[in-house]
Structure 1
Amino acid sequence: MADQTPSETSGAAAPQTLPDRSQTPADNQAGDSKNAAKKAAKLAKMAADKAAKAAGKGKESKEPKEPKKKAPSKKKADGPPLIGIDALKEENFPEWYSQVLVKSEMLDYYDVSGCFILRPASYFIWEEIQDFFNKRIKSIGVKNCSFPLFVSEDVLQREKEHLEGFAAEVAWVTHAGSTPLEKKIAIRPTSETVIYPYYSKSSGVIRSHRDLPLRMNQWNSVVRWEFKNPQPFLRTREFLWQEGHTAHLTKAGAEVEVHQILDWYAAIYKDLLAVPVIKGQKSEKERFAGSLYSLSCEGYIPATGRGIQGATSHCLGQNFSKMFNITVEDPDSKPGEQKAALHVWQNSWGLSTRSLGVMVMTHSDNRGLVLPPRVAETQVIIVPVGITAKTTEEQRVNLLAEIDRLVGNLTAAGIRADSDLRDGYSPGWKFNQWEMRGVPVRLEIGPGELAGNFVTYSRRDIAGSDGKGTIPIPELQTAIPTLLDTIHDDLYKRADDSFTEHRKTITDWNEFCPALNNKCVLVVPFCLEEDCEGEIKGMSARKAEEDSGEAEDAKAPSMGAKSLCILKEQPTEIAEGTHCINPNCKNPAQKWTMFGRSY
């Protein structure tokens, strides 16, 4: 998706009062005798011209006709125009996605291509993720810290395999003001080469095996100068994430952690964002550069049929510890023997604001944003209704006082509730705006509800009457939390059902591309060979091009299917004699592996 000018956001301007056009200037002068005389003369001339034309002695008068009177304006002063989504999710997904983010006030575009402004509504979600994850990682001794943004070229070059994975995306600082730097400095694409010199023995941070495990994490931004196709949250030149970096005495200790972190990432998606993910291990071709192996959570976007990597947890082995000389003395050395130096075992793991994009793409609709309740900045909005010209001032004051009381009660119950009491905005306009913003529950209360001691609710995730109902006011503090949990569970179930429906097990190559073209991700028997994976991607891209008659768009996510992950939970044992899905491969299959088109 190319960079776009920000669309106008709704609700930005103060309500405007329309001028009174119930009388035209001609009406205001109807009693003016001079004007009446002029009109009589004009009518007489028109009659004479008509008679002359009939006799063939003259031409029809070119006197301009009187302008028609405008009908009185009946438009109500109900706030500025609310600009809705005018691109359909199922027809123009990139444009729809952009409009949802901007018009829901989640994000704005910036004048540096590929960089975006996270507005409070989206940053709140990131804070909820931070709180959720911090509680868990701190329970195993992880401590948050902050390391510099810059990396010297010499240090970055020390780990060549690692650098190769980011070389094309590294942004460099070459000048300080107008003065060229003696040595250019990289802006971190990730922080292994920033942090690990600090872990080395010379720094004194890890002095002995008693300092292990060492667990640090930072919440920060990184820069990867992406040129392919910047997309908000999904593929940006600067993005927010957390990156954990830990050191362990043994491989077994490192592996326990790397799997625990993966489980917590999956919990973020399921328990906060209501998004299903599949856990697995990356293939050799897709693993993180410099790692021993990489684990990941893989999501699915129903509208496009593409997989998407949600988070990664890497077992780095001893690669970096050997590169940066991070060692401890062997605690099992016998007395009197020279103690051997052991290289530590390391992990790194990260989750980024890409998670917000996955959430928006999964749940939102053509009316705008749909937010899972547990990460919504406003979970409940209360809107007054039924206030008319016949409503007395006393009724109005009582209604607004009751709304204030309800907001207070809901807030006391731990619900993020607010009210919309703005004058000059119709209830319908407010409904549309809060729907656009994705607020999970709207409560309506007017004189009728107040008299009946109930409120009318509307769920954002269900359109029409099926998402509406009533709740007695005395039951709100218990009913609303239950309703919010129900909305979360329903959002997750709908997304999980879609993912399950579009996750097909395929053993015959002839079924591979047709299923791919039906927006499916595919679980297939795979030999795990890197060259074979490249061939599968190339063949599926060419076949897709032949089937559609369209050339692959270099700016779009890959048309060919790549491996998403080797399933952590294998559906069955690979039967002896089962061949790799690639018809040209002669190797036996080793693992069930999920392939798909991917962001």
Structure 2
Amino acid sequence: MSKNLTTRAEDYSKWYNELVVKADLAENSGVRGCMVIKPYGYAIWEKMQAELDRMFKETGHSNAYFPLFVPKSMFEAEEKNAEGFAKECAIVTHYRLKNDEERPGKLMVDPNAKLEEELIVRPTSEAIIWSTYKGWVQSYRDLPLLINQWANVVRWEMRTRLFLRTAEFLWQEGHTAHATRQEAIEESEKMMHVYADFAQNFMAIPVIKGLKTETERFAGADETYCIEALMQDGKALQAGTSHFLGQNFAKAFDVKFANKEGKQEHVWGTSWGVSTRLMGALVMTHSDDKGLVLPPNLAPIQVVIVPIYKTDEQFDAISGQVNVLTVE
């Protein structure tokens, strides 16, 4: 790590930004507010992803994948959710470019290729997933429906920082449907505890579990459970959230099931997610003024062997032993 790294005491924010770049984790891209996650940084994210995926499957969840684009009318069907994300949405209005006759070599949007309905680039997937669940759920025998997806989302942030807040980021989002209110609440709380277990026992990051206030609650949720991690600058970082959605999305998309008595009821829902923001939490929790510090579970490189020798013969002898170790 470079000796020119700004110290935490001098400027904590600058220290973080410099460390992420100099540790070769990520860099800003040619797209405003978006990042390139470099191989070393992505190797860390893969370790997080693998452990979380194992924990999700152990708790009965299956992975699926849903479209990146959400029709505007579908997004608007859940009003609170739409209002909550309205200012952050990226919107596709046209589907083709054409040559600009007035500027040779330049391209312009083809005005004749306007979409019949605008598409929202997903800031979150409740709308597209719950509209899909309508066709998946008919009876109590179809419940609980426990689905997770690994995906990217886009939120058009004005002020961005690598990993902590970017216009596009990677995450997982769980979306579950249940027959009773109590089952859905238990699911929401369970996933908050899964996140806390992962953060504390795999990432070695202490967290506080709790409920968000009404003003901080996820748009469209009845309750939002969260884990908060304390960073070295004394500020809390929201590290993961789990939402009890009540029947809000089920009613918006008419997701009903026939109970054991044959009566139609709306299902009860949850959603929960963590993102590459955890990479930022990892850096800020463990690193110091000398550079990046990683817990063993997440270090892509566990050991570095530095040979000390005077002659080529000594180097060859040391290399022979080192090569045996690295192969094993």
Aligned to 1:189: 123
On the 8 A contact 1:85/1:367 being kept in 2, the answer is no
Distance 2:148 2:301 in 1: 29
Q: How far 1:83 moved relative to its partner?
A: 4.2
Asked if 1:359 corresponds to 2:282, the answer is: yes
1:441-484 deviation line (CA, Å, top 9, x unaligned) = xxxxxxxxxxxxxxxxxxxxxxxxxxxxxxxxxxxxxxxxxxxx
Residue 182 of structure 1, CA deviation = 2.6
1:290 corresponds to which residue? 220
Q: Does 1:377 align with 2:296?
A: no
2:151 aligned partner: 220
1:63 is matched with: none
Contact 1:105 1:121 in 2 (8 A): yes
**1:87 matched residue in structure 2:** 6
Find the counterpart in structure 2 of residue 273 from structure 1: 203
Partner of 2:244: 315
Which of structures 1 and 2 has the bigger CA Rg? 1
Distance 1:184 1:326 in 2: 24
Q: 2:62, 2:307 → 1: CA distance?
A: 47
Distance 1:157 1:214 in 2: 24
RCO (CA 8 Å, sep 6+): is it higher in 1 or 2?
2
Q: In the alignment, is the contact (CA less than 8 A) between 2:5 and 2:290 conserved in 1?
A: no
Unaligned runs of 5+ residues in structure 2 are 97-109
Q: Which has the higher strand share?
A: 2
Post-superposition offset of 1:206: 0.9
The one-character-per-residue Cα deviations of 1:234-269 (angstroms, maximum 9, x if unpaired) are 111000000000000011111222111111101221
Residue 94 of structure 1, CA deviation: 2.0
> AA paired with 1:95?
K
- What is the distance in 1 between the residues matched to 2:201 and 2:150? 21
One of 171, 175, 180 as aligned partner of 1:245? 175
TM-score, normalized by length of structure 1? 0.51
Count of aligned positions:
313
In structure 1, what is the Cα distance between the partners aligned to 2:199 and 2:60? 23
User: Partner residue of 2:69?
Assistant: 150
Question: Secondary structure in 2 aligned to 1:257?
Answer: helix
Q: Which runs of 5+ in 1 are unaligned?
A: 1-81, 334-338, 410-599
Compute the RMSD of aligned alpha carbons.
1.3
Q: Is the 8 A contact 2:26 2:37 kept in 1?
A: yes
Quote the offset at 1:330 in angstroms.
2.2
Cα offsets for 1:503-551 (capped at 9, x unmatched): xxxxxxxxxxxxxxxxxxxxxxxxxxxxxxxxxxxxxxxxxxxxxxxxx
Displacement of 1:365 in angstroms is 1.4
Which position in structure 1 is the counterpart of 2:291?
Answer: 368
Give the C-alpha shift of residue 123 in structure 1. Answer: 1.2
Q: Which amino acid aligns with 1:136?
A: M
Q: C-alpha separation between the residues in 1 aligned to 2:291 and 2:183? A: 45
CA shift, 1:132, in A, is: 1.2
Shift of 1:382: 0.7
Post-superposition offset of 1:207: 1.9
Q: Is the 8 A contact 2:307 2:315 kept in 1?
A: no
How far apart are residue 139 of structure 1 and its match? 2.1
- How far apart in 1 are the matches of 2:4 and 2:71? 46
CA distance, structure 1, for counterparts of residue 257 and residue 325 of structure 2: 61
2: CA distance, partners of 1:85 / 1:252: 54
Structure-2 separation of matches of 1:323 and 1:86? 51
**Per-residue deviation at 1:176?**
1.3
Match of 1:161 among 52, 62, 80: 80
C-alpha separation between the residues in 2 aligned to 1:114 and 1:268?
A: 28
